[in-house]
Amino acid sequence: MIEKSITLENISLTDFLGIENKNINQLASAFPKSKIVSRGNEILVQGDSSEITHITDVLDALIKHFHKYGKITEENVKGFITQEKQELVAMENPEGLLLYGTRGTPIKVKTVNQQRLVELVKKNDLVFALGPAGTGKTYISVAMAVRALKNKEIKKIIITRPAVEAGENLGFLPGDLKEKIDPYLRPIYDALHDMIPFEKLGYYMEREIIEIAPLAYMRGRTLDNAFILLDEAQNTTPMQMKMFLTRMGPNSKMIVTGDTSQVDLPNNQRSGLTEAVKILTQTKGIGFIALNERDVVRHRLVKDIILAYEKRSDQKID
Instruction: Look at 291 and 93; give whichever has higher pLDDT.
Output: 291
CA distance 193 to 81: 19
227-261 pLDDT per residue, tens: 999 999 999 999 999 999 999 999 999 999 999 88
129-142 pLDDT per residue, tens: 999 888 889 999 99
3-state secondary structure the chain: CEEEEEECCCCCHHHHHCHHHHHHHHHHHHCCCCEEEEECCEEEEEECHHHHHHHHHHHHHHHHHHHHHCCCCHHHHHHHHHHHHHHHHHHHCCCCEEEECCCCCEEECCCHHHHHHHHHHHHCCEEEEECCCCCCHHHHHHHHHHHHHHCCCCCEEEEEECCCCCCCCHHHCCCCHHHHHHHHHHHHHHHHHHHCCHHHHHHHHHCCCEEEEEHHHHCCCCECCEEEEECCHHHCCHHHHHHHHCCECCCCEEEEEECCCCCCCCCCCCCHHHHHHHHHCCCCCEEEEECCHHHCCCCHHHHHHHHHHHHHHHHCCC
pLDDT value at residue 156 = 95
CA distance 60 to 247: 32
Which option is the CATH number for 2-91: 3.30.1370.10, 3.40.50.720, 3.40.50.2300, 1.10.10.10? Answer: 3.30.1370.10
Tell me which residue of 158, 272, 271 sits closest to 217, measured CA to CA: 158
pLDDT value at residue 313 = 63
Mean pLDDT of the chain: 83
pLDDT band at 198 (very low <50, low <70, confident <90, very high): confident
Residue 308 has pLDDT above 70, yes or no: yes
Q: For the chain, what are the domain ranges?
A: 2-91, 95-315
Which option is the CATH number for 95-315: 3.30.420.40, 3.40.50.300, 1.10.1760.20, 3.50.50.60? Answer: 3.40.50.300
Residue 30 has pLDDT above 90, yes or no: no
147-196 pLDDT per residue, tens: 999 889 999 999 998 876 443 344 444 455 555 556 667 778 888 999 99
CB 229 within 8 A of CB 257: yes
pLDDT band at 212 (very low <50, low <70, confident <90, very high): confident
Tell me which residue of 158, 147, 304, 160 sits closest to 231, measured CA to CA: 160
* Beta-ladder partners of 246: none
CA distance 31 to 129: 39
Residue 61 has pLDDT above 80, yes or no: yes
Same fold for the pair 2-91 and 95-315: no
pLDDT band at 123 (very low <50, low <70, confident <90, very high): very high
Q: What is the mean pLDDT of residues 290-307?
A: 71
Q: What is the mean pLDDT of residues 33-37?
A: 87
CA distance 244 to 255: 11
pLDDT band at 120 (very low <50, low <70, confident <90, very high): very high
